[in-house]
Structure 1
Amino acid sequence: MSTIHPDPEATGAETPHLDFAGTTPYEDYVQADVLTHLQHPLSDDPGEMVFLVTTQVMELWFTVIVHEWETAAHALREDRLTVARDALKRSVRELEALNASWTPLAQLTPAQFNSYRGALGEGSGFQSAMYRRMEFLLGDKSASMLVPHRGAPRVHAELEKALAEPSLYDETLALLARRGHAVPQSVLGRDLTQKYEPSPEVEAVWAEIYADPDQNDELVRLGEALTDVGELVWRWRNDHLVATRRAMGSKTGTGGSAGVAWLEKRATKNVFPELWSARSHV
């Protein structure tokens, strides 16, 4: 084994350890070599590499955000509001970073996107399993979204579990009920595999909480943390819509999706709906 000689100008206690028997501890922990060799563009267009890496970065942020929201949901179940709020606050910063991931793709022209769009084949963002877990945690559930993953048993099982579990908002409403607020049984006992639908009674609960912030300080802060999350989810959907509209107009999306028409519909929806509508009654 050859010996690596440090720079003679780097002497004393500040000299970093440079000689390792195998891979560096950094590599062992981060596995950067794995990450930086996951890119296999299918066209000769240089823009495809940017598209591919940006998409992979988004998947990593999805993974972190799912971790945070699952942490928050578990904490809410155990009435640990500080832990839940801390996880939600971290996810807000992570959502900001996720949304910034659109920047490299935000000004794609149709000609630029067409240069490698064919290489995507039937691939489409709506097939992302980790993004689907994010949506399920937000209460936006649909059993049909498991269908694309039937060929991947582990992924399918994880999504099936997420579909059946309470969403982040379900856990919030259950906590409000335990605190004595009048969340109706029709909401608390609903089929958790179905998409959450707004409830006038839940809207009234949030209006009551927000109308007396001194009495309900802890719950108002929880509501605001969820609202911060909801706002950034809405911004994510709108950024996705604008980037897609610039790159391909109203053409059919990859994978047979409705493209812009589907994204426009999604962009009009707010997660945690009563947290928004209740503000009109305070």
Structure 2
Amino acid sequence: MTEQTSALAAPPAADEAPQVQFEGTTPYEDYVHASLLSTLQRPLSNDPGEMAFIVTTQVMELWFTLIVYEWRTARDALLKDDLEQAMDALRRSRRSHQALNDSWTPLAALTPAQFNGFRAAFGEASGFQSAQYRHMEFLLADKSRSMVQAHRGHPAVYAELEEALAEPSLYDEVLRFLYRRGLPVPEHVVERDVTEAYQPDSWVEEVWRQIYAGPQDDPLVRLGEELTEVAELVLRWRSDHLLATRRAMGAKAGSGGSPGVAWLEKRAQRSVFPELWTARSYV
């Protein structure tokens, strides 16, 4: 190695200052758009709790976006019979979903008086109006055409949700993948109307029972467990949402015309990948 190449390869000295001279904005700003992000928090009250509420909600929206990206990646990989790429995406989504669940921390201990301090500021806004969360639900095969209607006033978002409604969910592609692998997934499941919410099927339950009763090093067992981990995180998210809401407002009516806690209780009871849970009773 020459003296010149050795110098190029040497790490910077510990006391060497980072580059601070740039012709325009910093490369970090150009890449992350941090200054734009920091302008999006616009409290409508003087209550100090509102800022935490807005920031936490916006952070959750960003996690929704990443989780949707990863679940779509997993779904599209299964369509190509690429199980390993799908598993990688599911594993990444689990880490993101855990961070999403942890995002409840700043809001989880709000008292009713603290919540009331800024609740009027967001008026009829409600979490069930989140388009990105609707994308998540659709990928879990929890489809609802009526939930798309709220977004008619935003044509681009409405078109994206209409497209997502018409596309197979992540679970649909899982079951189609198993069908192509020769497992007895019935044709009425493979060919179902994917714009409708998925309904549990006893034949699919038997497919998962067969998988779990077989060799435990089978990649399909690993797929089932990865999906179960995802489902558990979703169920914990719903439970944490319910608990935070119950703590902050009790049984009061929710914003946006929802019945509040009663609505969340109903949502929390909806299963995710249902046969993965029920099949375990018969292994």
TM-score, length basis structure 1: 0.94
Distance in 2 (CA, whole Å) between partners of 1:38 and 1:155 is 19
Residue 238 of structure 1: CA displacement?
0.1
Aligned to 1:212: 214
Distance in 2 (CA, whole Å) between partners of 1:116 and 1:32 is 26
2:186 counterpart letter in structure 1 = P
3-state SS, counterpart of residue 231 of structure 1: helix
3-state SS, counterpart of residue 104 of structure 1: coil
Which is further off, 14-23 or 122-131?
A: 14-23
Q: 1:171 aligns with which of 170, 173, 182?
A: 173
Please say if 1:109 is aligned against 2:101: no
Deviations 1:161-213 (A, max 9, x none): 00010000000000000001111111111110000000000000000011002
Aligned to 1:3: none
Q: 2:183 aligns with which of 181, 188, 201?
A: 181
Q: How does 1:184-263 map to 2 (within 5 A)?
A: 184-214=186-216, 217-263=218-264
Distance in 2 (CA, whole Å) between partners of 1:11 and 1:71 is 42
Aligned to 2:21: 19
Residue 13 of structure 1: CA displacement?
8.9
3-state SS, counterpart of residue 106 of structure 2: helix
Aligned to 1:72: 74
- 4+ residue stretches of structure 1 with deviation over 6 A? 10-13
Distance in 2 (CA, whole Å) between partners of 1:256 and 1:217 is 47
Distance in 2 (CA, whole Å) between partners of 1:78 and 1:111 is 53
3-state SS, counterpart of residue 105 of structure 1: coil
Deviations 1:221-250 (A, max 9, x none): 111110000000000000000000000101
1:46 counterpart letter in structure 2 = P
Distance in 2 (CA, whole Å) between partners of 1:246 and 1:139 is 30
Distance in 2 (CA, whole Å) between partners of 1:80 and 1:23 is 41
Distance in 1 (CA, whole Å) between partners of 2:81 and 2:15 is 48
Distance in 2 (CA, whole Å) between partners of 1:12 and 1:228 is 43
Distance in 2 (CA, whole Å) between partners of 1:128 and 1:63 is 11
Aligned to 1:97: 99
Aligned to 1:7: none
Aligned to 1:39: 41
Distance in 2 (CA, whole Å) between partners of 1:133 and 1:247 is 27
Q: How does 1:157-168 map to 2 (within 5 A)?
A: 157-168=159-170
Deviations 1:89-145 (A, max 9, x none): 011011100000101100111111111100111100000000000000000010001
Residue 12 of structure 1: CA displacement?
8.6
Residue 11 of structure 1: CA displacement?
6.9
Distance in 2 (CA, whole Å) between partners of 1:198 and 1:211 is 20
5+ long unaligned stretches in structure 1:
1-9
Aligned to 2:56: 54
3-state SS, counterpart of residue 250 of structure 1: coil
2:71 counterpart letter in structure 1 = W
Aligned to 1:271: 272
Distance in 2 (CA, whole Å) between partners of 1:70 and 1:167 is 9
5+ long unaligned stretches in structure 2:
1-11
Deviations 1:45-89 (A, max 9, x none): 010000000000000000000000000000000000000000000
What RMSD in Å do the two structures reach over aligned CA positions? 1.3
Deviations 1:239-265 (A, max 9, x none): 000000000101110111011001111
The percentage of aligned residue pairs carrying the same residue is: 67
Distance in 1 (CA, whole Å) between partners of 2:93 and 2:67 is 6
Distance in 1 (CA, whole Å) between partners of 2:119 and 2:200 is 38
- Change in Cα spacing, 1:249 to 1:13, as seen in structure 2 (3 Å) is closer
- Change in Cα spacing, 1:101 to 1:12, as seen in structure 2 (3 Å) is closer
Residue 23 of structure 1: CA displacement?
0.2
